[in-house]
Structure 1
């Protein structure tokens, strides 16, 4: 009999964390699931730890796919190809979650009109400090409202691990992860999926514990660090969203506003990067110009709080001073998280 839920977990050098993640899974109150692990060319003992866990816990629906390193998107695509469940969720190998996490996600999608179930989360540093926790009321949202919710700066964001998707929609519309996009590839997948839904349901209860690791890709992408060209793929992600929602003025407007916020952020990262050169300066100037052209769009958008809009205005009026302040803040946060 096929499982109701497929749980896909890409693994890359996660030997220190994967046991905690898997323990969270086998302790779930809902048990009709399969676990699909994709070992993406780990160079540590991740594969050994996975096999030992599988053998010691005698898990029936536990699949381990071993492959060469190709990135998280290629790993997730292989997971989708192997998934047999009616629903699918994705987890990160270094996070943990509460025992009712799957149960709550499934409760949100039981209504046939609901095609996407979203749960809240707690964002935590490695030292245990909680830096953010979702709150609010459970709500049902339309397609356009869901696009806005996922792009909202202080919303539930485009993470995969706090969402439950229907496999029939993924297969019907041949959805997969763009393996050329290395930043916000998860957001891109979510927004493309939302194009085909009727409604979503959001439960803000923080059942997922997202642990921010000091060596993660996102913590490295901060003010004062060396700039990597791969970070530009985030713009590719937004361009793909705009293309997909062509003709939907509400969604297009929100995506453009989110892109304008991102271009200002990338421009600032370049300005404070030790490897800034003439090529990057030119790109930074172009990104800043895009943000300026879309200033009114950002200020009129529901995606950003009043505080965030003020921050955006200041960053456009006095960009150098704003970049310096953000660099100092980033350095302070890095020290606090250690």
Structure 2
């Protein structure tokens, strides 16, 4: 029997890329899948494109938000709640992949007895391949588990490259309450100490058009305040739950405060919002 894959397609204002994404999903060589289509109140032409797949036999759910949720991770959670079968693939709407993606990913999971498999990931800009994404979990080429050694880093940089066993999501509870680092929290909740490997036999293409949404270079003070506070909350909750020790907790918040500090201008550092953030950081270190 072929295992069933639930494919979660969360979209917001990606009409320019949806045709490629949808074609790379529905035309897979492996066809035992169901697609959960989620649109977060897009303002572009996304619905015109998505509507063509509303009654497709492979579409299990077609959900259009009347109001924007304010977080892509709330869309992830909605899709995960609707997921059925054996495996889950969160296919971001601005990415795409080879047509053997599912077939190859499932083969690798079965052959290596894995919980998670990550496809070779290429970055794309203006339809040209611009590079290869090095996922931090594979910094050690022999890494077979996502362990606390990777806590300081987001272990996987593009969720579209990942296929994972549905059973891993049984105990997740917090990641969708984050607007910026929900992916990092999700990996920590679902993938910790699970078997993972890179798959060189298929490709996922990670869209990098202009400034990446995750790039910090163009962000302002308000964003960085939220960015630090989310990282602090994540680390503190993990420490409070005894999932990490105090040394790792302190190393983590030092890392992300320093990241914020290095990207702010002198003028921003004179603002009261930054001074309050700096004070809270010193208090956070002593907890």
Q: Scaled by the length of structure 1, what TM-score is found?
A: 0.69
- Going from structure 1 to structure 2, the CA distance change for 1:53 and 1:287 (only over 3 Å counts) comes to same
Q: CA deviation at 1:204?
A: 5.0
Matches within 5 A, 1:264-283: 264-271=258-265, 277-283=271-277
Structure 1 residues 77 and 234: alpha-carbon distance in aligned structure 2, compared to 1, 3 A threshold: same
Question: In structure 2, how many angstroms separate the alpha carbons of the residues matched to 1:92 and 1:62?
Answer: 17
Equivalent residue, structure 2, for 1:303:
none
Alpha carbons of 1:93 and 1:142: their partners in 2 closer, same or farther (altered >3 Å)? closer
In structure 1, what is the Cα distance between the partners aligned to 2:164 and 2:262?
A: 35
| Distance in 1, Cα, partners of 2:116 & 2:250 | 23
- Partners of 2:214 and 2:90 in 1: CA distance: 18
Is 1:166 the counterpart of 2:169 in the alignment? no
Q: Which residue of 1 aligns with 2:179?
A: 182
For residues 150 and 162 of structure 1, the distance between their equivalents in structure 2, rounded to whole angstroms, comes to 20
2:238 and 2:244 in contact (8 A); partners too: no
Structure 1 residue matching 2:89: 3-state secondary structure = strand
**Contact between 1:39 and 1:65, CA under 8 Å: does it hold in 2?**
yes
In 1, are the aligned partners of 2:37 and 2:63 still within 8 Å (CA)?
Answer: yes
Query: For residues 14-163 of structure 1, what are the structure 2 equivalents within 5 Å?
Result: 14-54=14-54, 58-67=56-65, 68-70=67-69, 71-110=71-110, 113-126=113-126, 128=128, 130-134=130-134, 139=142, 141-144=144-147, 147-149=148-150, 151-152=152-153, 157-163=156-162
Post-superposition Cα deviations, 1:237-261, rounded to whole Å, max 9, x if no partner, equal 33334445x2555xx7666545432
User: Which structure's relative contact order is higher, taking Cα pairs within 8 Å and 6+ residues apart?
Assistant: 2
**8 Å Cα contact 2:100/2:202 also seen in 1:** no
For residues 167-196 of structure 1, give each alpha carbon's deviation from its aligned partner in whole angstroms, at most 9, with x where no partner exists.
22312x2x145333111211110111123x
Q: Tell whether the 8 Å contact from 2:123 to 2:133 is kept in structure 1 after alignment.
A: yes
1:141-187 deviation line (CA, Å, top 9, x unaligned): 1352xx4357557xx5353222222222312x2x1453331112111
Quick one: distance in 1 between partners of 2:64 and 2:226? 25
Q: Distance in 2 between matches of 1:177 and 1:290?
A: 20
User: Pairwise mapping of residues 176-255 of structure 1 onto structure 2 (< 5 A)?
Assistant: 176=173, 178-195=175-192, 197-204=193-200, 207-214=203-210, 216-219=212-215, 221-222=216-217, 225-228=220-223, 229-232=225-228, 233-244=230-241, 246=242
Distance in 2 between the 1:83 and 1:259 partners? Answer: 34
Cα offset for 1:6? 0.6
Alpha-carbon distance between aligned partners in 2 of 1:224 and 1:74, rounded to the nearest angstrom: 22
What is the TM-score with the length of structure 2 in the denominator?
Answer: 0.80
3-state SS of paired residue (1:99): coil
Distance 2:60 2:53 in 1: 10
The runs of 5 or more residues in structure 2 that have no matched partner are none
Give distance in 2, aligned partners of 1:39 and 1:106. Answer: 27
| Partner SS, residue 16 of structure 1 | helix
